[in-house]
């Protein structure tokens, strides 16, 4: 039985810088007539040119973005990432629920040219300062083709992004907890931020996302970015099958908190991955057209490098310092659904 051949990226393809995080850079594929737009929210798009660029984008690249790996201390190859995704993550969801990822062989010299462009963008001041000094890994021969969840080419469409973390309470939270795990951690971090003179971070309570009460889901949409039509977004999220599936999987994969297995186990890695993914909700302008909902950021977490110990120490801190109980003076008011009627009044117009 022969192994399926790996796709190869055409050598004449053009890439447009889209975004980057700590471990990856995302590029869009340029097509004939592509124009670069200034966007105050992100750097000026940068193109990696090749003189033999083809004017027509191959069909297999349409609807895809290109993700390329940075040089990081984790040093996990894309082959390993895709193997984990295919064997562990993919079987848990329907294909239409996932931001797909497929290995693609990169042309010789492409990584070096992209790094040159990143350095030039730093000099020009068009690359985020916090990303300066981080470049693509020259020893990684592959990129990842991922589902394009942007609204490029879809006039009037909007994209909402949210982190549906901890849709169930932590199994090691105190029985009388008045905060869910997410709200307890956020309030602890806000306390630390205030001490440093930084701003607090506001967010929804994830328990509201899976509430049987529509008004709770609507409450959560106040703090979800990307969609101004909150009632429509709430209708989309209310009793959403993908959210319910994720909640069920988080409950099944409950090896988290202080009662989970030994550090660096596959079980803990999967459990934490399912609690740190991103939900993308692409909403067309025409309400008769289908909404596209996919989960991304599902690279299998690793407990290596002290992460497993960090997860456990956070849980201990939340318990020992009373953040679950809401005992600290800066924890009131709170968005946490566990407070029930004691939450701050909610106005649909706020």
CATH superfamily entry for domain 7-147 = Inositol-pentakisphosphate 2-kinase, N-lobe (3.30.200.110)
Structural contact between residues 216 and 337, judged by C-beta atoms closer than 8 angstroms: yes
CA torsion 101-102-103-105 (nearest 10°) is: -120
Cis peptide before 333 (omega within 30 of 0): yes
CA torsion 190-194-200-206 (nearest 10°) is: 10
Structural contact between residues 323 and 188, judged by C-beta atoms closer than 8 angstroms: yes
Which residues sit opposite 29 in a β-bridge? 15
Instruction: Output the pLDDT for position 262.
Output: 59
Instruction: Output the pLDDT for position 43.
Output: 44
What proportions of the chain, in percent to the nearest 5, are helix, strand and coil? 35, 15, 50
How buried is 49 (Cβ within 10 angstroms: 0-12 exposed, 13-18 middle, 19+ buried)?
Answer: exposed
Instruction: Output the pLDDT for position 234.
Output: 97
Which residues of the chain fall short of a pLDDT of 70?
1-4, 32-56, 259-264, 303-306, 329-332, 346-350
CA distance 263 to 309: 7
DSSP string, 291-321: PEEEEE--PPP--GGGHHHHHHHHHHHHHHT
Each residue's pLDDT tens digit, 233-279: 999 999 999 999 999 999 999 878 776 555 567 788 899 999 999 99
Burial code (b: 16+ CB inside 10 Å, e: under 16) for 13-32 equals: bbbbbbebeebbbbbbbbee
Q: What is the pTM of this model?
A: 0.89
Instruction: Output the pLDDT for position 1.
Output: 44
Structural contact between residues 317 and 187, judged by C-beta atoms closer than 8 angstroms: no
Instruction: Output the pLDDT for position 6.
Output: 81
Instruction: Output the pLDDT for position 44.
Output: 42
Each residue's pLDDT tens digit, 39-73: 444 444 455 555 444 456 788 899 999 999 999 88
Two tokens, residue 184: 């307890």
Structural contact between residues 44 and 36, judged by C-beta atoms closer than 8 angstroms: yes
The torsion angles phi and psi of 104, rounded to 5 degrees, stand at -140, 135
Instruction: Output the pLDDT for position 301.
Output: 83
Instruction: Output the pLDDT for position 51.
Output: 45
DSSP 82: H
Three-state DSSP class for residue 323: coil
How is the beta sheet containing 292-296 ordered, strand by strand? 158-162, 278-283, 292-296
CB neighbourhood size of 278 (10 A)? 16
Each domain of the chain, given as residue ranges in start order, spans: 7-147, 158-342
């Amino acid at each position: 039985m022969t192994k399926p051949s790996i796709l190869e990226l055409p050598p004449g393809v053009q890439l447009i810088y889209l975004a980057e995080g700590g471990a990856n850079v995302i590029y869009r594929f340029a097509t004939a007539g592509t124009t670069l737009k200034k966007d105050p929210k992100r750097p000026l798009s940068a193109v990696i040119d090749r003189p033999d660029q083809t004017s027509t984008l191959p069909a297999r690249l349409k609807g895809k973005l290109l993700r390329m790996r940075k040089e990081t201390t984790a040093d996990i190859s894309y082959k390993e990432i895709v193997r984990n995704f295919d064997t562990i993550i993919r079987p848990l969801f329907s294909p239409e629920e996932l931001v797909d990822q497929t290995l693609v062989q990169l042309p010789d010299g492409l990584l070096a040219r992209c790094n040159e462009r990143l350095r030039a963008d730093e000099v020009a001041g068009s690359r985020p300062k916090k990303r300066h000094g981080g470049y693509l890994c020259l020893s990684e021969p592959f990129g990842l083709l991922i589902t394009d969840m942007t609204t490029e080419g879809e006039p009037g469409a909007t994209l909402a992004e949210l982190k549906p973390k901890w849709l169930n309470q932590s199994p090691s939270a105190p029985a009388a907890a008045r905060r869910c795990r997410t709200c307890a951690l956020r309030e602890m971090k806000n306390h630390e931020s205030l001490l440093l003179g930084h701003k607090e971070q506001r967010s929804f309570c994830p328990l509201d996302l899976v509430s049987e009460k529509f008004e709770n889901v609507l409450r959560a949409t106040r703090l979800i970015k990307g969609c101004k039509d909150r009632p429509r977004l709430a209708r989309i999220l209310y009793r959403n099958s993908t959210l319910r599936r994720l909640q069920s999987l988080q409950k099944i994969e409950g090896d988290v908190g202080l009662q989970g297995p030994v550090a660096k186990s596959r079980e803990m890695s999967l459990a934490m991955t399912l609690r740190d993914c991103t939900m993308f909700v692409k909403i067309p302008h025409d309400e008769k057209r289908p909404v596209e909902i996919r989960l991304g950021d599902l690279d299998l977490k690793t407990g290596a490098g002290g992460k497993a110990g960090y997860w456990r120490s956070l849980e201990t801190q939340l318990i020992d310092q009373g953040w679950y109980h809401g005992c600290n003076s800066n924890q009131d008011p709170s968005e946490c659904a566990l407070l029930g009627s004691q939450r701050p009044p909610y106005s649909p117009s706020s």
